[in-house]
Chain A
């Protein structure tokens, strides 16, 4: 016991270099073993190994969808099928070689990924499960019923892959071919997970609404997950067709999809080594159990349940989700000495930034917002106050695109209408916000939370070249700059969930500032903080204003509001009942009425998302 503890302590104080060396040596050992096993194993074991490699590739592909982006997919075998059938048809009817068919099959799968992905984008995860399952079945039924795909017979006589004029037919040859593609898939998905796109996926997985509100184009990013996953799946399909020379619909059933999903979950969602281990277990375990042939699937099933009970996160969950996981300490050269990054044009003081005109919105029969109009000018702090249920947050939602108002208009800079503009585009136009109930990406560290906020600037990069680009030094410097700005310079490496309440509030502001907004909307930034924290926050708001960003905030503490604001807007029952300078508003009898005429109560659920209210997070 004591020894074990001592060991653990010893390990935990190990330097990052040692850990890196350990990882490298394990990786190296794995590579050597992978390359050499054909020397030691017979044909039978090697044919199992080829299947393992195929499922590892499939696992890596599905991992992009399920592990990175958090989208449950029960029909992944459809992409496996599309890769196999596309390449087989091209090889049979157009006499293309394996390598010539490869890019076309990839394109076909990518297109299929878009088609399958598109209708599912609005769906929440459990609905997603059945829709993807349905698509998988539709693809299988279609290839079963069409003549061009050979119907239930499938396609025969698919030529093997050739390398330098040699056909790859031997089991060892197939193994090395599979290994080649597996390494490609590892590199590809590894790059994806470190790319900006990977970060966007993680933020979506953590909190979709918050991601959109800080500028992540959710629909595009989700679609990308399907497309990337489809591409990897198609490669596995091509290998499968080249290996057997014959394919038919029974190889691409719902059960296949489930097996691939099991690879991902057993291995550990989001982890690349996990996929390899998952594939070994899912394929090799039933083979090992051949000696108890009648009971083998029963044992496999029970082992699956037992494994989930013992290790619900899978065998090798990715580092970040493990408790107290190893995380990068901020290297010294990233200290927040960097200058303020050059951002978008700063509007001149007093310039008209936001024009809200006669905005109304209702939920069912309730008029939440009723004919609200106001302007915001550069360099001012505007407070929106009012009793609970006055419609303050709904006004924010109407401005930032989370809700499209029934009537009225919101214009940016007095010209560009924001009506019907998606939340992530609103951010891009220079309008950032925070939430009443803090919505951070709890599973990401503070720096990464900020870096998600940067995506608003990088939207163009999401589509092509910048897709796979890794985080640059400038990006990190910028994140560190804003973390320092809000006083969290030394907290960058902590998970958002590990920060204190006040720190979380400030991190949310830093994340919003990453998009370099012209206007920042803060929804009760000081709610739930103690008086000291409240003071600090308010001085932070002033600092923000001093950088040239206009601030609109919802706040209850009248004292603070009066001290801080350039102008105050008072809402009651969806209408503006008073507006003007703090002094003016304070003395307005209607305001006093609104506040004293009704009891102040605190809705305990205010600010919670629906999922939180239901006690379930997807």
Chain B
């Protein structure tokens, strides 16, 4: 039972990161039907920006909370700009071209970001200064640290903010309209280009925040860190029904839990196989993911 609780705590921590990144995949897919392979690398860039900031200001003896806020804002701002630039340069011109072209373009951007980071920061690991407290508390025999709690709460808050933005603001409504029918949205006077840009901004900002949190919590970062986590986050986005925001959040946590329980009860070296196995099994019975709407084709 203690072990079970421990797996639960561990899974929720991992899930917090996955959910934040999965949201970006799902938003971008929803709006332009693109699997943005570069998204995991945007997360990586956010992590490196946060690293640069934290290593610089750590000598200033600021309060930890301030350092965290400054680093996260910097990481989010940088990835937001990066997301817009990527969209404008590599995706925008390809929106109405054969769809695999944009996919390959995304793969190219992904590789370019990784190689760029390697050249800039080196192939080895960079280490965040360890500023988070390592202390924690116990729930039913399972250990949880305050840092884990912080990661969990912070990611929930950001997801809630995103959800409210998309559901309650006119811009959010425009995004949802665009996801349903780009042409109709354009006819209704929605600025399509700007809304797509905004979607990339939001998705990338969330990935950037996750990147900084990853660095603060796990300390070591490197230029390919976005690949493994990006793959799992993408899996979560599909599992939740790609294009569906609450689906991505729930599935992000779900994948975190599957990974954790699979590590614990099966074996860590089969984790990815288990995750993909669950995904395939779900898709066989529900071809549009857990929360995806059933598509009724009209003929």
Contacts and interface: CB of A to CB of B under 8 A. Distances in A.
Interface of A: 66, 72, 119, 122-124, 126-127, 129-131, 133-135, 137-138, 141-142, 144-145, 209, 213, 254, 258, 261-262, 265-266, 269, 294-295, 297-298, 300-305, 308-309, 312-314, 363, 393, 397, 402, 435-437, 439, 523, 605-610, 613-616, 618
A130 B279 contact: yes
A59 B261 CA distance: 38
A127 B287 contact: yes
A613 B181 contact: yes
Given A122-B284, A209-B297, A209-B299, A258 B100 contact: no
Main secondary structure of the interface of B (DSSP, over half): helix
Given A127-B242, A134-B279, A261-B107, 19 more contacts: A122-B287, A126-B33, A134-B276, A137-B273, A145-B269, A145-B270, A254-B231, A295-B119, A298-B119, A301-B112, A304-B104, A305-B89, A308-B94, A312-B94, A312-B102, A523-B299, A609-B299, A613-B298, A615-B184
A131 B89 CA distance: 29
Contacts of B272: 137-138, 141
Contact of B283 (A131, A305, A435): A131
B43 interface: no
B181 A144 contact: no
A298 B105 contact: no
Interface string B270-299: 101101110110011001110000011111
Interface of B: 29, 33, 35, 89-90, 93-94, 97-105, 107-112, 115-116, 119, 180-184, 231, 234-235, 238, 242, 269-270, 272-273, 275-277, 279-280, 283-284, 287-289, 295-299
A297 B115 contact: yes
A303 B287 CA distance: 36
Contact of A309 (B105, B235, B296): B105
A304 B273 contact: no
A610 B296 contact: yes
A265 B203 CA distance: 27
Nearest to B86: A305
A75 B238 CA distance: 16
Given A308-B94, A308-B108, A138 B102 contact: no
15 contacts: A66-B100, A127-B287, A130-B238, A134-B276, A137-B273, A138-B272, A138-B277, A145-B270, A209-B299, A297-B111, A297-B115, A298-B119, A305-B90, A308-B102, A397-B299
A216 to B, nearest CB: 15
A-B complex: 4 closest residue pairs judged by Cβ atoms = A134-B276, A312-B101, A304-B108, A301-B111
Given A141-B273, A607-B298, A126 B29 contact: yes
Main secondary structure of the interface of A (DSSP, over half): helix
Given A298-B112, A304-B107, A304-B111, A134 B299 contact: no
Contacts of B104: 261-262, 265-266, 304, 308
A610 B298 contact: yes
A331 B30 CA distance: 48
A272 B241 CA distance: 36
Contacts of A122: 284, 287
A294 B35 contact: no
B70 to A, nearest CB: 30
B195 to A, nearest CB: 13
Contacts of A144: 269
Contacts of A300: 111
Contact of B105 (A126, A145, A297, A304): A304
A135 B276 contact: yes
Given A297-B111, A435-B299, A265 B101 contact: yes
Contacts of A297: 111, 115
B182 A615 contact: yes
Nearest to A439: B299
Contact of B269 (A66, A134, A141, A609): A141
B111 A614 contact: no
Contacts of A608: 298
B14 to A, nearest CB: 18
Contact of A308 (B105, B181, B273, B298): B105
Nearest to A611: B297
A294 B298 CA distance: 53
Contact of A305 (B33, B108, B234, B238): B108
Nearest to B297: A610
A258 B107 contact: yes
A614 B33 CA distance: 10
A72 B242 CA distance: 16
Contact of B287 (A72, A124, A213, A436): A124
A304 B100 CA distance: 13
Contacts of B101: 265, 308, 312-314
B143 to A, nearest CB: 30
A131 B242 CA distance: 13
Contacts of A397: 299
A141 B262 CA distance: 14
Nearest to B288: A127
A144 B270 CA distance: 10
B234 A130 contact: yes
B119 A265 contact: no
Contact of B280 (A135, A269, A309): A135
Contacts of B119: 294-295, 298
Nearest to B113: A301
A55 B112 CA distance: 22
Contacts of A254: 231
